[in-house]
């Protein structure tokens, strides 16, 4: 049996960089410091309001809210789900099966990237939402039925995303059909049970992929004003409007920590250590994944606690208040680590999707599609990685500043941000080092 082997994720080479690595690191750190100083001088009060944004043209706004348009894309999502399940259940367990590409490339990377552009699209496309709705309709039960009020916030999403990250990066034989069948059908069953118990309110924050899409979707230039009208706005408005809920720090830490672990796991010394250890390698890998997520959460908590001390504010809830500032950083890591995987293997997945049963068919007419090597040219990829990392961190600094001037008194707002700036610089240096370790 030949199984699908997807390429390593986004590991760059220092030889591909347009500038010396050390110079880039220093420049990136200086960019954050300069941004911080400029913000302290020029941005002394909250500037991001929900009433802001440039209105979209009326026809486009009507199309975005059109039941016909939304229904079309929902139907397309359900059709793709059924097509993927066909390949999952009846397809051949070999390198040409499209399921690993749909799960690990389209659902994971593609959903995140598309949400950055178009917003929280999984609210419309989520097939589990529609299956849940169909079950209730068939049983002639009200669509808002719940047995228990939902109060868990993002905690189920954090657990689900952590489990998926483990499946993608650590689990043995994770591209084989038996493993994917167990993972996919377990996820469907657990999701439907939770939705039936907590009602459809569970999906918005509790569903892992809806939370993934919604949180990245806050960075989209498409959004709604306070009056509900569609507007174009900065990528800072959405995260700044994000309401603090239980588990928000946990889910953002998993989003960033999981990607950081992906880069860390390619380090030669780590790989050698895991292989030579008398303990099972996957035990070390799982511990490292958990450690990365905990490091992100604890470092932000420590920075927020220090900021609270400097500003004379209580620590409780402050880390969660600053958690949205991790979202642009996580988005930068997402693009940097997975650009080549998305543009290359995403195209290969589309080609394989045309033959779900592995019979040599070309039902969709896409079997001949080939990825463009120009999009994964080493210098281009390295440039995209550096720009993504630095841009994400600069946006994180700006968002943290907006939060600080909203929460802190003006006289201590800048001083209170210093621990967060130090943290952002550490994230930047660490992210670039993990990406360009060779």
Alpha-carbon distance of 402 to 407, in angstroms, equals 9
Residue 250's φ and ψ, nearest 5 degrees, are: -65, -45
**1: which DSSP letter?**
-
* Residue 339: both structure tokens together: 């650009």
**421: which DSSP letter?**
H
Which of 168, 191, 207 minimizes the C-alpha distance to 286? Answer: 168
Helices of type H across 244-377 = 248-264, 268-276, 281-311, 318-322, 326-340, 346-353
336-375 residue pLDDT tens? 999 999 999 999 999 999 999 999 999 999 999 999 999 9
pLDDT the model gives residue 378: 87
pLDDT the model gives residue 437: 64
> What global pTM score does this model have?
0.93
pLDDT the model gives residue 96: 95
Residue 98's φ and ψ, nearest 5 degrees, are: -80, -10
pLDDT the model gives residue 312: 83
The number of residues making up the chain comes to 438
CA distances to 106, 134, 358, 413 from 95, rounded to whole Å, are: 17, 34, 10, 55
Which of 190, 187, 197, 192 minimizes the C-alpha distance to 150? Answer: 197
pLDDT the model gives residue 421: 87
Does residue 385 contact residue 334 with C-beta atoms inside 8 Å?
no
Which of 107, 100, 110, 97 minimizes the C-alpha distance to 174? Answer: 100
Please tell me the number of Cα atoms within 13 Å of 183 on its side-chain side. Answer: 23
Does residue 355 contact residue 367 with C-beta atoms inside 8 Å?
yes
Regions of the chain short of the pLDDT cut 50: 1-8, 11
CA distances to 218, 283, 350, 404 from 112, rounded to whole Å, are: 11, 28, 18, 27
Alpha-carbon distance of 164 to 327, in angstroms, equals 19
Alpha-carbon distance of 345 to 109, in angstroms, equals 11
Tell whether the torsion through CA atoms of 210, 212, 213 and 214 is positive or negative.
positive
Alpha-carbon distance of 294 to 56, in angstroms, equals 41
Alpha-carbon distance of 436 to 438, in angstroms, equals 6
* Residue 300: both structure tokens together: 């932000």
């Amino acid at each position: 049996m030949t199984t699908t082997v997807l390429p390593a994720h986004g590991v760059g080479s220092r030889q591909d960089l347009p500038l010396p690595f050390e110079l880039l690191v220093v420049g990136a750190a200086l960019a954050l410091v300069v941004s911080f100083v400029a913000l302290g001088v020029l941005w002394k009060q909250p500037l991001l309001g929900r009433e802001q944004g440039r209105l979209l043209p009326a026809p486009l706004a009507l199309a975005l809210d059109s039941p016909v348009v939304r229904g079309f894309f929902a139907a397309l999502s359900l059709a793709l789900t059924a097509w993927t399940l066909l390949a999952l259940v009846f397809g051949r367990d070999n390198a040409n099966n499209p399921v690993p590409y749909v799960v690990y490339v389209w659902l994971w990377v593609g959903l995140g990237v598309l949400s950055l552009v178009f917003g929280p699209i999984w609210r419309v496309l989520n097939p589990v939402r529609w299956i849940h709705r169909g079950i209730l309709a068939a049983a002639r039960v009200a669509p808002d039925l719940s047995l228990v009020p939902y109060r868990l916030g993002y905690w189920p999403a954090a657990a689900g995303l952590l489990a998926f990250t483990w499946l993608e990066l650590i689990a043995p034989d994770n591209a084989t059909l038996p493993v994917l069948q167990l993972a996919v059908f377990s996820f469907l069953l657990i999701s439907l049970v939770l939705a039936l118990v907590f009602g459809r309110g569970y999906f918005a924050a509790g569903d892992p992929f809806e939370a993934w899409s919604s949180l990245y979707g806050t960075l989209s230039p498409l959004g709604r004003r306070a009056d509900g009208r569609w507007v174009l706005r900065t990528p800072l408005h959405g995260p700044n409007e994000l309401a603090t809920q239980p588990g928000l720090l946990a889910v953002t830490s998993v989003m960033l920590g999981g990607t950081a672990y992906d880069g860390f796991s390619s380090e030669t010394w780590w790989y050698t250590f895991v292989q030579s250890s008398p303990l099972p390698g996957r035990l070390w890998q799982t511990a490292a994944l958990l450690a990365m997520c905990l490091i992100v959460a604890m470092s932000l908590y420590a920075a927020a606690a220090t900021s609270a001390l400097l500003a004379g504010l209580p620590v409780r809830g402050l880390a969660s208040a600053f958690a949205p500032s991790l979202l642009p950083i996580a988005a930068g890591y997402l693009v940097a680590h997975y650009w080549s995987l998305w543009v290359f293997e995403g195209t290969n997945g589309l080609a394989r999707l045309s033959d779900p049963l592995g019979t040599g068919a070309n039902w969709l007419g896409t079997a001949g599609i080939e990825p463009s090597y120009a999009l994964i040219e080493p210098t281009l990829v390295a440039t995209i990685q550096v720009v993504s990392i630095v841009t994400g961190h600069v946006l994180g600094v700006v968002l943290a500043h907006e939060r600080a001037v909203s929460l802190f008194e003006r006289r201590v707002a800048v001083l209170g941000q210093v621990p967060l700036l130090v943290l952002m610089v550490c994230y930047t240096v660490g992210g670039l080092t993990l990406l360009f370790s060779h």
